[in-house]
Amino acid sequence: EGTHLGQLTKGTWVVTGLVGFCPATRSAIITSKEAGDLQQNIYRLDIPSGKRTLLDNGRGVHQARLSASGRYVLDTWQEPDVPRACAVTDTKTGKRVALATAADPWDGWYKPIFEQGTVKAADGVTDLYWRMVKPADFDPAKKYPTVVYVYGGPHAHNVEASWHWGSRSWETYMAQKGYILFILDNRGSENRGRDFEQVTFRHLGQEEMRDQMCGVRYLRSLPYVDSSRLGVHGWSYGGFMTVSLMTNYPDVFKVGVAGGPVIDWKWYEVMYGERYMDTPESNPQGYGQTSLIGKAGNLKGKLQIIIGMNDPTVVPQHALQFLNACAEAGTQPDFFAYPGEGHNMAGHKSVHLHERITQYFEDWLK
């Protein structure tokens, strides 16, 4: 009848998914962050009592598929040193049968060093998780150019307890070329609870920048990071963050590559922009504070902006208005557009894109 029957889970952790139900045991199968912020684990939740029973090994990032009866769950997962594994678990007894564990496809190869750690957020209290990728021949006595890869927006995260801490192939590629890569999940990103996510409400980018700069201060404290050769790169919300960091902290970053960047939230799609910023009429201060048009004159480092000319998500108006503001202010960003492409490049255009991003850092940061 629509009556609220009661809360089934409680705690300072996030339920990430409802997998399904097991009618025979009157239980629900869920995934959650209860075992750790960087993990995702599978639990049987007894509906009458609220008791939870772990159905996996307690490590890594797990995905679950439930049988039609609800009795068995197919568990596939990764850990920082496990590329992929799968098992079947009896949801009633908890008995697990291992099916397969993938061998490390990089075993025997010269490979980068993957590390994970924490740094305090700008609030001085909250732990933020980071991932670092170092060259395979890393020498702590040397100084390395370092690129901060950033997304930073709502409903996404980059650092997790999956293989290589969630590292992307481009990070490996850049490490092979002699760079250190640093990735930090700032406040406002997902899976850390309501307060963690909502701190950015009505002023997107501001708390995120403060947190990213906490990561930068940590990097500058490391003897092997060359503070005079710091770069930043991101796409979409990460592009917005890249331009924001380049124009709000112009003396920190030498080089930036911003893909599909939001420049002013009043031009972004309503269902997203107004969800996190309210309307321009009700939040003029927030929209004014976060717009990058008035900050075009602050640009000092080398900045390349890349867009798809048919981008329906972050329409070209964003980049073009920023370029116009730069022309008025006398600053000199670089610009490349992919005709006919949308918000992301596909096929050989994607290869070309990553070649272009990499070469920009090779030309101006290394």
Q: Which of 236, 244, 291, 318 is catalytic?
A: 236
Q: Is 343 a catalytic residue?
A: yes
Q: Report the side by side order of strands in the sheet with 27-32.
A: 15-22, 27-32, 41-46, 52-54
Taking the C-alpha atoms of residue 344 and residue 222, their distance in angstroms, rounded to an integer, is 34
322 Cβ contact partners less than 8 Å away, ≥ 6 residues apart: 243, 261, 263, 292, 293, 296, 305, 333
Q: Which of 46, 226, 343, 354 is catalytic?
A: 343
Q: Is 27 a catalytic residue?
A: no
SS3 per residue for 30-96: EEECCCCCCCEEEEEEECCCCCEEECCCCCCEEEEEECCCCCEEEEEEEECCEEEEEEEEECCCCCE
Closest by alpha carbon to 89, among 53, 62, 60, 55? 55
Are 187 and 128 a contacting pair, CB within 8 Å? Answer: yes
**Orientation of helix 169-176 relative to helix 348-364, angle to 10°:** 40
DSSP 40: B
Q: Which two tokens stand for residue 180?
A: 């250190």
Q: Report the side by side order of strands in the sheet with 82-90.
A: 61-66, 72-79, 82-90, 96-101
Q: Which of 164, 291, 311, 318 is catalytic?
A: 311
Q: Is 348 a catalytic residue?
A: no
Q: What residues are annotated to the active site?
A: 236, 311, 343
